Amino acid sequence: MQQVAQKPPFNVAQELSKRFQEALSKIMFPGEKISDGWFERAVSALNHASPVSLGCSISEMELLLRTDKNNLSMLQFAMLSNNAESRSMKDLNMVFSSYSEFLLETDRLSKLWNEETSSLRKKIETDLINEMSTKQKLEDNKSTMKSVRAEA
């Protein structure tokens, strides 16, 4: 008896995440909205991060460390911002008033990122749903064709 190799199940959430990350890596964050002080502190916060904690490779982290604020992709900004938000005053060697300002700017920039990327996420979701629907229709048609051939 011959065994048929089964395709691994399609994971919609993983595919959506993959496509979203790919798209984010191609779109630039508006660097003019980032203050020099915030950027310097956010980059210095990378001293307390690893590629694993950032969700990237070593080469991607190295590139992030070398990228200036006007050339950040949306994905790079997300890594920088998420890492910065997770750091303490002690990590950043800041007093509370400076730390508070830093977090307020982080929040403002994160809201801007969300505004800029929400329509992109929706488009990717819609495209994925349409693709899945088309694939399902094709599979249904194949099943119907096999049934018809079996009856002939």
Q: Note the pLDDT tens digit of each residue in 115-128.
A: 999 999 899 999 88
Q: Which among 69, 71, 62 has a CA at the least distance from the CA of 25? A: 71
What's the average model confidence in pLDDT over 68-88? 96
Residues 19-66: tens digit of each pLDDT: 999 999 999 999 999 999 999 999 999 999 999 999 999 999 999 999
Residue 3 pLDDT > 60, yes or no?
no
- Binned at pLDDT 50, 70 and 90, residue 147 comes out as low
State the sign of the Cα–Cα–Cα–Cα dihedral 49, 53, 54, 57: positive
What's the average model confidence in pLDDT over 65-70? 96
Please tell me the pTM assigned to this model. Answer: 0.78
- Binned at pLDDT 50, 70 and 90, residue 99 comes out as very high
Residue 1 pLDDT > 60, yes or no?
no
Residue 133 pLDDT > 70, yes or no?
yes
Q: 33-65: buried (b, 16+ CB within 10 Å) or exposed (e) per residue?
A: ebeeebbebbbebbeebeeeebebeeebbeebe
Q: How confident is the model at residue 130, as a pLDDT?
A: 87
What's the average model confidence in pLDDT over 70-82? 97
User: Which residues 6+ apart lie within 8 Å of 45 measured at CB?
Assistant: 80, 83, 84, 87, 91, 92
Higher local confidence (pLDDT), 9 or 11: 11
Q: How confident is the model at residue 138, as a pLDDT?
A: 65
- Binned at pLDDT 50, 70 and 90, residue 13 comes out as confident
